[in-house]
Amino acid sequence: MAVDRASQMLLSEGARHWREVGREMTSVHQDLTQPQGQNPRNAQRVQDAEQQCELLVIGAGSAGIAAAAAGQRAGAKVTVIERERPGGASLWTGTVPTKALIAAARAAHLMRTADRFAITPVEPQLNFGELMRGIQDRVSAAAPTEPSGALQRLGVDVVAGAARFTGPETIMVGDVSYRFSRAVIASGTAPAMPPIPGLVECNPLTVTSFWELRFLPEQVTLIGGGPTGCEFAQALARLGSKVRIIELADRLLPREEPEASEMIAERLRSEGVEVLTGTAVRRAISYAHHQQLIIAGPDGAEPVTIESGRIMVTAGRRPVTVGLDLPRAGVFLNEQGYIAVDDRLRTENRKVYAAGDAVGDRPLASLAELDGEIAATNAVSGRSRIARHELGPQVVFTDPEIGRIGHTEMSARVGLGDWLRVRKSSGRIDRAIAENEPSGLTKIISNGHGRMVGATVISPRAGEVITELATVLQRGGRIADLASVPHAYPTWSDALWHAAMDDQAERQTAPTGRTAVLRRR
């Protein structure tokens, strides 16, 4: 039977089609049966499937956002991985909401103590649920632009998910692989839970879970007398709770000057807080309607059982590194469990940097932001900026506030020995007199040449005042520099001027042998 030309063409096209299908099926079979490491076709497909980025940032808290912005300014293609909500603990559960709580507590305290201004004092009526909702509104207002959106407008790719290193230059987020030229780990910290038997079963509050409360606890026992513990103790007592604070060290705020510890402990006691120092918590016991703690005091005292009320843990924080598989990237932890870095924030993998709370030292939002910028700049540009954490001011937001920069007297003596000068001014300045506030303290530490190495200020506005001393210290300045700058009067920073003038009085003696000094009032 004859086959016309059109039919021949159709048969020819069909044959070619099926030959192509056959070749493709053979290729697929080879891809499936040949080991991936020996198959260049698979290697190319894996490479094509990987997302490429020049700077990869793990974490979108204070350090991570600063790192991403610095990398973008340097012209790098930046990707940020965040497993929770961008903004970090400082914004959502730390610094910002805590200060809102402290402000409300201060208002309640002023109502109770208004008689010092010849105003009839009243007992405040607190709607704690409304207060907590209002605090959340203020937290949202502190981030007027949604953080992930702000990063995206900068040209930064924001990916939601948990990151896991798969090699020195790769990570996985879900089932997506990313290959980076440089990376910054800014995974932050979370509240630490002391290894106290029975504590977890008591479901204690932390600085994260506290903000879920809608009713003020009648009684609270705080475990940990550092900055966070002291801030919450005072705030909750002023709002109406019966508060106890327990600290293992022999004083509250063991990292601060002893004078600061004593002053804050005295203030807390005067406001009804029970302060237990040198006290260890041996066990926590949870019952149906109440909780107890077994504690042991100093000097081998017998353990005693106390009714704790609601337990809140304020005993520090731990780095968030679980699940990152750091060893796969050649990144390791130090003895304290934080990511080990050098003074340029590089890990042992020279392509990976770390910044913020995850590297330990002092968990401060201001230092985290600076860390993030330094780490990203060093990573992208190859610069060698050094992170000097000791130059970052630290503030304890109690009433009065404690501001510190650089060394304490004890830590300075380790390096300087007797070649150390300590200038203390505890006189009541005119601003304190005008506002009927008690005396504070200004303590400036310098070397034998008068160059400042540290300072502590205790006053109602120490957080603002300490920044001036931080500027002097960072510039390698001397106490004399403070004396040469006019200070507005009457202000809380006037205490610095008095301290500087007192120091000058000791250094400069008039020909008559009398000290030449000018003091206000």
Which CATH number characterizes residue 167's domain? Answer: 3.50.50.60
Cβ–Cβ under 8 Å, residues 294 and 221: no
Choose the weakest-confidence range: 220-224, 444-448, 480-484, 507-511: 507-511
The answer as to whether 484 is a domain residue is yes
* Residue position matching structure tokens 């000094």: 517
User: Which tops the pLDDT comparison, 113 or 154?
Assistant: 113
Domain's final residue, options 315, 337, 356 = 315
Number of domains observed in the structure of the chain: 3
The answer as to whether 37 is a domain residue is no
User: pTM of the predicted model, to two decimals?
Assistant: 0.85
Choose the weakest-confidence range: 73-77, 146-150, 433-437: 146-150
> What does the mean pLDDT of the chain come to?
86
The answer as to whether 429 is a domain residue is yes
Cβ–Cβ under 8 Å, residues 380 and 55: yes
Q: Which domain holds residue 249?
A: 200-315
pLDDT value at residue 146:
58
| Together in a domain, 360 and 211 | no
| Together in a domain, 210 and 181 | no
The answer as to whether 64 is a domain residue is yes
| Together in a domain, 305 and 230 | yes
Mean pLDDT of 389-411: 92
Name the pLDDT band for 448 (thresholds 50, 70, 90): confident
Choose the weakest-confidence range: 102-106, 172-176, 177-181, 314-318: 314-318
The answer as to whether 107 is a domain residue is no
The answer as to whether 227 is a domain residue is yes
Domain's final residue, options 342, 368, 389 = 389
| Together in a domain, 181 and 68 | yes
| Together in a domain, 184 and 332 | yes
| Together in a domain, 327 and 362 | yes
Name the pLDDT band for 131 (thresholds 50, 70, 90): very high
Name the pLDDT band for 149 (thresholds 50, 70, 90): low
The answer as to whether 9 is a domain residue is no
The answer as to whether 262 is a domain residue is yes
| Together in a domain, 184 and 204 | no
Distance CA 17, CA 244 (A): 83
Name the pLDDT band for 331 (thresholds 50, 70, 90): very high
Write the DSSP symbol of residue 377: H
> Binding site for FAD: residue ranges?
99, 357
> Binding site: residue ranges?
99, 224-231, 247, 316, 357
| Together in a domain, 407 and 385 | no
Q: List the end-to-end C-alpha distance of the chain, in Å, as a whole number.
A: 126
| Together in a domain, 413 and 440 | yes
Handedness of CA 84, 90, 92, 93 (dihedral sign): positive
| Together in a domain, 465 and 431 | yes
User: Which tops the pLDDT comparison, 310 or 289?
Assistant: 310
| Together in a domain, 428 and 449 | yes
With 0-12 / 13-18 / 19 or more C-beta atoms within 10 angstroms meaning exposed / middle / buried, residue 207 is buried
| Together in a domain, 204 and 299 | yes
The CATH number of whichever domain residue 412 belongs to comes to 3.30.390.30
Write the DSSP symbol of residue 510: -
Domain's final residue, options 363, 389, 415 = 389
> Binding site for NAD(+): residue ranges?
224-231, 247, 316
| 270 has a pLDDT exceeding 90 | yes
